[in-house]
Structure 1
Amino acid sequence: MRSSAPAPSRTPPLAPVPAPERDDVNGLESAAALLNKFKELSKGGTFTYDRKRRPYAFYGTNHSSVSDVLQANLWKFRLTTVARDVLDYLVTHHDRQALVKTTQAKLGEHFCCSQTKVSKAIGELSRHNFTWKEKRGLYRLNPLYAYGWGSDHHRELVVSLQNVLLEHQIEIPTVGKKETSR
């Protein structure tokens, strides 16, 4: 006669699960704990909770930001290669007041071209109001195209240069469709 008792189970009983630590949620570390670990490991990394400011990653000590609208339409200006090179140089070498200390001779030497080509390039950039000469060896980059060191400083600079910027507005050229000849 067979007994109605169940057959013994071959799996061992499970051990009780330890209670999670205070900083763990469902076995995962909390976001605060992860941020603190990252902050310790990154040696100087910062986190911000201010929605107006966003963290940037950039090389070197200078931070430049360029107007997205002007950058997207830069092709419409039909800048020469030297003018574009000079503009890029000004964007990466300006100070907190959007000033660049350089001469046309130094720029010519830097780009391995004549001072005349640099002079024409600066003239082209000046006509479009990307830059203008403040005095000999000192050029101002239009802070509405590019600026440095963050948005608070940018606003202060634009306010301080308000009258000058009204005289140096960058207007995006209109480019019509090319007429086809028959």
Structure 2
Amino acid sequence: MAEAAHTPPQHTPATEQPPVSLQLGRGDRLVVERHRTDYDFIGRSYYLMSRELSAKLPHLGLTLTQYDVLHHLMGTQASGGIVHQTQQAIGQDLGIDRKEVGKAIRRLSTIGLVWQERRGEYRINPRCAFYGRSGDQQAAVESMPDHVPDLDLPDYKVRPPRRRRTLKGDTP
């Protein structure tokens, strides 16, 4: 059984408890549980995203629409990395046509960032971003369909220049 040893009083802020020394007997074990501090994210919720993916996204050459759709999917995912939204609903949320959403999702699927489970249900690659518990993320990685391509992130040191359309009045 553990006995509390005498410790000299120390000045501590009112919110902290003074330190205590304990002597544990053979085979005794001490577990300290601290109060968890809640994160203060906007909306009180967050998901985890691969730092590597975040650093390489600019190198993938995504269009603005593809980038917007990807972040919309990541931000609206339910626990487990599933997004329950039709292309029409995504388009309404982003102010773009359903066909543009479809083209963006096809490109994101080609890269391996997302895939369609069924009509109105998409899954974000759990190796990229995930909303849920770590055990659930591991299970999601293990159950990824074979048709999802492996992520092949570029290793550029500097992002290649973006292509842009020639505008009227531009000189070649």
- Matched ranges for 1:126-165 at <5 A: 126-159=109-142, 161-162=143-144, 164=145
User: C-alpha root-mean-square deviation of aligned residues, in Å?
Assistant: 3.3
Question: Which moved further from structure 2: 109-118 or 135-144?
Answer: 109-118
Preserved contact between residue 100 and residue 138 of structure 1 (Cα < 8 Å) = yes
Query: 2: distance between equivalents of 1:79 and 1:134?
Result: 22
Q: Sequence identity of aligned pairs in percent?
A: 26
Equivalent residue in structure 2 for 1:28, among 4, 12, 17: 12
Query: 2: distance between equivalents of 1:142 and 1:150?
Result: 15
* Aligned residues between the structures: 140
Higher helix share: 1
Preserved contact between residue 49 and residue 130 of structure 2 (Cα < 8 Å) = yes
Structure 1 residues 120 and 90 mapped into 2: Cα distance closer, same or farther (>3 Å)?
same
Question: 1:171 maps to which residue?
Answer: 152
Equivalent residue in structure 2 for 1:84, among 67, 71, 80: 67
1:132 aligned counterpart, secondary structure? strand
Structure 1 residues 141 and 165 mapped into 2: Cα distance closer, same or farther (>3 Å)?
farther
1:139 aligned counterpart, secondary structure? strand
Alignment deviations for residues 126-171 of structure 1 (CA, whole Å, 9 cap, x no partner): 1111111111111111110000123233223223x14x26743211
Structure 1 residues 28 and 93 mapped into 2: Cα distance closer, same or farther (>3 Å)?
same
Q: TM-score when scaled to structure 1?
A: 0.64
Structure 1 residues 107 and 165 mapped into 2: Cα distance closer, same or farther (>3 Å)?
same
Question: 2:51 maps to which residue?
Answer: 68
Structure 1, unaligned runs of 5 or more: 1-21, 35-44, 49-54
> Computing the radius of gyration over CA atoms, which structure comes out larger, 1 or 2?
1
For 1:141, give the aligned amino acid: I
TM superposition shift of 1:103: 1.1
Q: TM-score when scaled to structure 2?
A: 0.67
Query: 1: distance between equivalents of 2:99 and 2:44?
Result: 32
Question: 1:125 maps to which residue?
Answer: 108
Structure 2, unaligned runs of 5 or more: 1-6, 19-33, 161-172
Query: 2: distance between equivalents of 1:145 and 1:23?
Result: 51
Query: 1: distance between equivalents of 2:128 and 2:117?
Result: 17
Alignment deviations for residues 11-43 of structure 1 (CA, whole Å, 9 cap, x no partner): xxxxxxxxxxx7841x33599517xxxxxxxxx
Query: 2: distance between equivalents of 1:132 and 1:125?
Result: 8
Equivalent residue in structure 2 for 1:46, among 12, 29, 35: 35
Preserved contact between residue 62 and residue 149 of structure 1 (Cα < 8 Å) = no
TM superposition shift of 1:116: 1.7
